[in-house]
Structure 1
Amino acid sequence: MAFTTEEVLSGLAELINDETGIAPEVVALEKSFTDDLDIDSISMTTIVVNAEEKFDVRIPDEEVKNLRTVGDAVEFITKAQV
């Protein structure tokens, strides 16, 4: 099942909230994981693993460092579904 950009953003916001307590409505495409949301590498790893499971995609370790913003992650997950 392919998820829309909005569904991926909403799902990621839920995962980020579960891991960090950050309110889902704060999570937006332009937000930086580290600068705006203050997510550390350990939390990011958990979010990535949970996102892989939720969206049935594989996010290679070497790609994770390229996911600087929520939008980067949403775009990667959306394209990885195809």
Structure 2
Amino acid sequence: MLRVAVTAALRTVAVRSFAQMPAQQRVFAPLVVSAHKQMGQIRQYSAKAPLTKKTLEERIVLVLSLYDKIDAKKLTLDSDFTKDLGLDSLDHVEVVMAIEEEFGFEIPDGDADRFKTPRDIFQYIADKEDVFE
């Protein structure tokens, strides 16, 4: 019951000021403010920015170049992960996890196993996110 009331008060605090709240919700307002201070900043998400092929390529190359086992000088979209960049299977999994985190969706293991080059990742994300331009 208290959780429902606090949730309702949170929504109300976001929309109205304290003075505009109904009296029964004002009771929970200090609790909400206290909970807000304990939780820290609340994130508010908006729609994703549209992806273009150029930004998609830049983001993939950036994520891969930040991986400590990849030499940025050898990195191109056509570099083979094992032959050119020297990654093993564990490194491959970590790269896929970094890509998943960057783009905000999970890549099934069966699909991830087919990634041999950054271009494969590029094509997979372009197909999944409908990037055509």
Normalising to structure 1: TM-score of the pair? Answer: 0.79
The answer to whether the 8 A contact 2:70-2:85 is kept is no
Kept in 1: contact 2:63–2:98 (CA 8 A):
yes
Question: Please, which runs of 5 or more residues in structure 1 have no aligned partner?
Answer: none
Q: 2:25 — aligned with what? A: none
Looking at structure 2, the residues matched to 12 and 54 of structure 1 have their Cα atoms a distance apart, in angstroms, of 9
Residue among 54, 58, 79 paired with 2:127:
79
Map 1:18-33; keep pairs closer than 5 Å.
18-19=66-67, 20-23=69-72, 26-33=74-81
**Whole-Å separation in 2 of the counterparts to 1:5 and 1:49:** 21
What is the aligned-residue identity percentage? 23
Distance (whole Å) between structure 2 residues aligned to residue 71 and residue 21 of structure 1: 15
Larger RCO: Structure 1 or Structure 2 (Cα < 8 Å, ≥ 6 residues apart)? 1
Residue pairs, 1:1-82, within 5 angstroms? 1=48, 2-19=50-67, 20-23=69-72, 26-82=74-130
Structure 2, unaligned runs of 5 or more: 1-47
Superposed structure 1 runs of 4+ greater than 3 Å apart:
none
Q: Indicate the larger mover: 4-13 or 43-52.
A: 4-13
| 8 Å CA contact 1:52, 1:59 repeated in 2 | yes
Whole-angstrom CA distance in 1 between matches of 2:92 and 2:60: 11
Based on CA coordinates, which of the two structures has the bigger radius of gyration? 2
Q: What is the Cα-based RMSD across aligned positions, in Å?
A: 1.8
Number of residue equivalences: 81
